[in-house]
Chain A
Amino acid sequence: MGTVTMEQGLLLASALFALGLLGLLLRRNVLFVLMSLEVMLNAAALAFIAAGSRWVQPDGQIMFVLIVTLAASEAAVGLALVLQVYRRYVTLDTDSLSGMKG
């Protein structure tokens, strides 16, 4: 048996989450923003798995399944929106997409 504890798993999860959050805040390309969101969702899933492993309960893996469902829905809708935005404005830069009419 190894000696890695849940805390180290949670530490890794928070590091990955922070990286995703940084990408979300700093990047200006919509595709990279969506990828950062995936990284953050994945980090949250890792936290659930680590906790589920600590108490040997299946709830962590069930939350993981629900998070994957959420990530798939978010990616599908977000990427469809990206396609529409690119078709209309021919850019993926969030700064130049910030103005709205009406």
Chain B
Amino acid sequence: MALNVATLASRMLGAALPILKKDARDAESFAKLEFTKIAQTIVAIGEQVVSGQINEQQAGLLLAMQTSASRNVFLTLQGLALLAVEAAINAALNVVRSAVNTALGFALIA
């Protein structure tokens, strides 16, 4: 049996794409939740300065803490993206394993 590049590519894409889409949705909902919390706190810090509950120096330090929190959200998104790509590649190889191995007559992909 000859291997057809277009068929293999289509099957690989079919296996990888749902994983990428699902993981992108999960990452989006996580980012939305966490960035909303950060945005609410930044607004609150501004209001607290205006109302005199905290001074400008304290506000600056509290804002620095929010910046570190944002960095950590971005780093999690970076890690989740790596995991998604990893899963998509493994799924793509998995779905063509049998066809490739049968056509070649040996286990190229195990």
The reply to whether chain A is a binding partner of chain B is no
